[in-house]
Amino acid sequence: MAHWQYLLILVLCLVLTAPLEFLGPGVYRRPRLLLAAIAPALVVFVVWDLLAIAGGVWSYDPRFVLGVRLPGSMPVEEFLFFLVIPLCGLLTFGAVETLLARGRPARVRIRDREAGR
């Protein structure tokens, strides 16, 4: 069961933040913006991980990963981490931003909207 641990944590993160989609501005409904937000960090950190793995700087305990490896010997869970955690962050940020906006007076919301915030 331990080899499912990393993947289960990622799934739990998604399950716990998924309801925030209904509070926020609709992260899943704007896939191009989602891709634009996640892709830069994904590329940088995947390259960083691959270099660290190749250089022997770090490795992944086989007891806690499924054993499915991507090119460069990166566990699939590590790649998914770079997708899931930023997505959870976007969902959380969007929900908090929406809830805070609901508490502002209407004139402040209008001014913010006109300013592009």
Residue 45 structure tokens: 């950190």
Query: What DSSP element (H or E) covers 1?
Result: none
Query: Is residue 48 over pLDDT 60?
Result: yes
Residue span of the structural domain in which 96 resides: 2-114
The number of beta carbons lying within 10 Å of the beta carbon of residue 17 is: 20
How many domains is the chain built from? Answer: 1
- Can you give the pLDDT at residue 81? 95
Q: Using an 8 Å Cβ cutoff, are 95 and 42 in contact?
A: no
Q: Indicate the average pLDDT of the chain.
A: 88
Q: pTM, whole model, 2 decimals?
A: 0.79
